[in-house]
Structure 1
Amino acid sequence: MNEPARSMSAANNPTPVPTAEAAARQERTMRFAVIGVAAVVIVVAMLLTPNFMTLDNARAILRNAATVGIVAVAMTPMTLSGNFVSLAITQTAMAAIVAFVVLIGLGVPQIVAILIVIAGTVVVGVLQGVVVAAGLNPVITTLAAGAIIFGVVSQVTGGGIVRVGAYPISWGGGAILGVPVEVIVFFLFTVAVTLLMSSTVTGRETILVGANRATAEISGISFARVTIVAFVVFSIGLALAGILSGAAFGQATAQSFPGLTISAIAAILVGGTAIQGGQGSPLRSAIGAIIIAVISNMMVLNDFSTGGRLAVQGGVVVMIVVLIDLLRRRGRSSK
């Protein structure tokens, strides 16, 4: 079938999309499901871990969830738009933390360093978004970008550790009214991205493109614009993750953020975002990150070995993802 014929066919027979009422009903179902899973996980942790319900432990859980949560929330628009997930998460966040620490070590004012890192990370993200919008597979694109970023940063750092040196960051790892700075940023960023997705034209277009790209394009929605915006949001989240970690530790290497890619993707899936796009929310991705942090915390407090923690955590995450997916399918089939 030639291109004009294909376009005419799509226009005459667009794939049906859920009504607003059905979509809202499914969103409520998924929200309650994710909150229910979080409640069950917390109750189990309370029963199995005597020291779980303490203020210090709650603060530790949220602090551990913050980095993964920021990245998961930032990647949610990308997944919602039908562009799956990025495989350059670890490398991009690592580049952000290295760049921030190097700039601070050179005596660059902190606010200037923050803006430079965010701007640079966004440029890298936009370049990937443009390539994906042009038609290249997003998984291949981000995988290649990750390899390039890692190679460049490794070459620049020589595989060693970079430090802020004589320019310590007073707010790094600090707290405001007892709440860790990174947790506050996690909360504010989640609110901002949630509002973007739920209360703006861009957010609604992103969800429609992910649910049915052909119908969205017939409606005049630009896949390229939606994709680039999603990559911009994603890049800002990665920059924030790198900046916060650089401020907290005052040093960085090309090996920073091991396992961040898997953890962020797991948080999105546990939060019930459909990997094929069109259904999910940043808020649920944030809850997914907290669920994973609670499970990990419970394993640590119960003295599980590293291998045991990974095995149990992986198994529980898989069961939760399967449960959430079954609920989504049931909600879809009942429409």
Structure 2
Amino acid sequence: MTKTIEEARTTPVQVVQSKKITLRHFATWALPLLLLAIVVVAALTTPRFMSFDNLRAILINASVVGIVAVGMTPVTISGNFFSLGASQSTVLSAVMFLSVGSATGSVLVGALAALVILCVVGVAQGYIVSAGLNPIITTLAAGTIVFGLVTVFTNGEVVAPQGLDISWIALTNFLGLPLPVYIFLIYLAINWFYMEHTVAGRRTYLMGANRSTAQLSGISVRKTTIWAFLSMSIGITIAGILSAAQLRQVQSADLSGLTMDVIAAVLVGGSAISGGEGSPLRSALGAILIVTLGNIMLLHGLPTGVRLLGVGILVVAVVSVLHVLRKATAR
């Protein structure tokens, strides 16, 4: 039977739409499937990988990277790229937490002091970026300033808790998992709800997708940008406190690789560098993937340079595939 003119016209459109839907599904499930594949291969080829202690260590390490990555996701979605000062700000949080907590004898006061300081730093960066300054330059400069201030404040020496019991933060367990893992999950849930189910979150997506349209719709670029940086600052504060509790000391030069791990997690999680697309949940999965890959290479005894090379290749491959998929679905 010959096709009617209407069928002949609609069939190609339906095929294209079907292909786009298939590509979107692939993009959605690519990261979980990749993580699952890596875990399966590691379980078959890497001794001790599937031991409870090793899996627990992966989750503990992923909690710090994941919290900062989840917090940075709104900044990327809003079209403001990344923060290149995440490592220095996390150290600042840890130093303030230990210093003020030790001086007052209170974990709560130390945590609140760190939160206030980091929120001020985040709001200042958000305000400057919203005024039109390049976010890369702004956050890089902020990181340098923070590093200098922390070094001067500590004289470059190690800061440790003095008469302050913080061990319970890292050692408290429930169902075999430590408290930092649950804090990570709670922060992820709150951030995900904020981005997906609040007006402020939807404004962040819209501003990242098309800033001109967002402004014409009455969305304040300044407020949205400041809220994105404030969200990141809260995550950095939590990560700094958890790092201090796990390490029980901190120095200005610590956590030097955190920024790159966080950016890798956000990119592998599928956030578009140009903004308008991404998810805190996928960034969290990206953090787990990055930490898992590093753990596997560590168990195989590979040197640091090779581990960094492996993570870099993974990031380039995933980002390239996502870029191709976005172009294909946009046609």
C-alpha displacement of 1:331: 2.5
Of residues 103, 128, 137, the one that matches 2:125 is 128
Q: Is the 8 A contact 1:217 1:223 kept in 2?
A: yes
* Separation in structure 2 between the aligned mates of residue 322 and residue 92 of structure 1, nearest angstrom: 30
> What corresponds to 2:9 in structure 1?
none
Q: Is the 8 A contact 1:31 1:284 kept in 2?
A: no
Q: Which moved further from structure 2: 232-241 or 32-41? A: 32-41
Equivalent residue runs for 1:261-272 within 5 Å? 261-272=259-270
Q: Which moved further from structure 2: 314-323 or 175-184? A: 314-323
Q: Which moved further from structure 2: 161-170 or 229-238? A: 161-170
Q: Which moved further from structure 2: 291-300 or 53-62? A: 53-62
> What corresponds to 1:152 in structure 2?
149
Letter in 2 for 1:292: I
C-alpha displacement of 1:106: 1.4
> What corresponds to 1:93 in structure 2?
90
* Separation in structure 2 between the aligned mates of residue 156 and residue 27 of structure 1, nearest angstrom: 50
State yes or no: 1:288 paired with 2:275. no
Q: Is the 8 A contact 1:164 1:251 kept in 2?
A: yes
Name the SS of the counterpart of 2:255 in structure 1.
Answer: coil
* Separation in structure 2 between the aligned mates of residue 313 and residue 233 of structure 1, nearest angstrom: 26
Structure ID, larger Rg: 2
Of residues 112, 116, 119, the one that matches 2:116 is 119
* Separation in structure 2 between the aligned mates of residue 295 and residue 69 of structure 1, nearest angstrom: 14
Listed one character per residue, the Cα deviations across residues 269-304 of structure 1 (whole Å, up to 9, x for unaligned) are: 000000110001000000000000110111011111
Of residues 104, 121, 134, the one that matches 1:137 is 134
C-alpha displacement of 1:198: 0.3
* Separation in structure 2 between the aligned mates of residue 278 and residue 25 of structure 1, nearest angstrom: 21
Q: Is the 8 A contact 1:173 1:249 kept in 2?
A: no
> What corresponds to 1:161 in structure 2?
158
C-alpha displacement of 1:313: 2.6
Q: Is the 8 A contact 2:101 2:109 kept in 1?
A: no
Q: Is the 8 A contact 1:246 1:252 kept in 2?
A: yes
C-alpha displacement of 1:310: 1.9
C-alpha displacement of 1:31: 2.4
Of residues 217, 220, 227, the one that matches 1:219 is 217
TM-score, scaled relative to structure 2:
0.90
* Separation in structure 2 between the aligned mates of residue 46 and residue 53 of structure 1, nearest angstrom: 6
User: Identity of aligned pairs, percent?
Assistant: 45
- Cα distance, 1:199–1:128 mapped onto 2, change above 3 Å: same
- Cα distance, 1:204–1:27 mapped onto 2, change above 3 Å: farther
> What corresponds to 2:319 in structure 1?
321
Of residues 240, 243, 246, the one that matches 2:241 is 243
State yes or no: 1:259 paired with 2:257. yes
* Separation in structure 2 between the aligned mates of residue 139 and residue 309 of structure 1, nearest angstrom: 26
Extract unaligned runs of 5+ from structure 2: 1-19
> What corresponds to 1:231 in structure 2?
229
> What corresponds to 1:183 in structure 2?
181
C-alpha displacement of 1:63: 0.8
Q: Which moved further from structure 2: 119-128 or 324-333? A: 324-333
State yes or no: 1:209 paired with 2:207. yes
* Separation in structure 2 between the aligned mates of residue 230 and residue 325 of structure 1, nearest angstrom: 24
Name the SS of the counterpart of 2:168 in structure 1.
Answer: coil
Letter in 1 for 2:99: V
C-alpha displacement of 1:320: 2.3
Letter in 1 for 2:249: Q
Name the SS of the counterpart of 1:252 in structure 2.
Answer: coil
* Separation in structure 2 between the aligned mates of residue 44 and residue 35 of structure 1, nearest angstrom: 14
* Separation in structure 2 between the aligned mates of residue 271 and residue 130 of structure 1, nearest angstrom: 27
Paired residue total: 312
Q: Which moved further from structure 2: 140-149 or 285-294? A: 140-149
Name the SS of the counterpart of 2:105 in structure 1.
Answer: coil
Letter in 2 for 1:34: L
> What corresponds to 1:49 in structure 2?
46
Name the SS of the counterpart of 2:167 in structure 1.
Answer: coil
Letter in 2 for 1:152: L
Listed one character per residue, the Cα deviations across residues 91-133 of structure 1 (whole Å, up to 9, x for unaligned) are: 1111111111111221331111111111110011001111111
Of residues 63, 78, 83, the one that matches 2:80 is 83
